[in-house]
């Protein structure tokens, strides 16, 4: 398990079990483990997600955005839910730039 700190200084966990689940559904992310963690810690933008989640997005070129969905449960705990690539900047309300 690895932990990074969100832009709100909240520790966000990525367990190996969750990582396995992510790459099982998004095999294009298999070699992007550290980039997923970095997207939470040093995103280009953070957007409001559904049901209290946040979307950290990092640009990897003209048509490649890494999006990491995570939840900040408390001021001392959070976790990554999933991650995926998009061809365009993710949509939604930007809450951090």
pTM for the full predicted model: 0.96
The mean pLDDT of 4-21, rounded to a whole number, is 97
CA-to-CA distance for 67 and 82, rounded, in angstroms? 8
pLDDT tens, residue by residue, 31-80 = 999 999 999 999 999 999 999 999 999 999 889 999 999 999 999 999 99
Q: Which has the closest alpha carbon to 84: 48, 36, 45?
A: 36
Q: Which position has the token pair 């048509």? A: 63
Closest-CA residue to 92 (of 73, 67, 74): 67
What is the reported pLDDT for 13? 98
Q: In the chain, helix, strand, coil percent, each to 5?
A: 25, 40, 35
Q: Which fold has domain 2-96?
A: YaeB-like fold (3.30.2310)
Please tell me the predicted confidence (pLDDT) of residue 28: 95
Q: Where are the domains of the chain?
A: 2-96
């Amino acid at each position: 398990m690895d932990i990074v700190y969100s832009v709100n200084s909240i520790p966000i966990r990525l367990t190996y079990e969750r990582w396995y689940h992510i790459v099982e559904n998004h095999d294009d992310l298999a070699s992007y483990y550290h980039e997923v963690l970095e997207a939470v810690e040093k995103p280009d933008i953070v957007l409001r997600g559904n049901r209290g989640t946040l979307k950290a997005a990092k640009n990897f070129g003209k048509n490649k955005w890494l999006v990491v969905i995570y939840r900040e449960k408390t001021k001392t705990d959070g976790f990554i839910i999933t991650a995926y690539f998009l061809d365009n900047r993710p949509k939604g309300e930007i809450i951090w730039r």
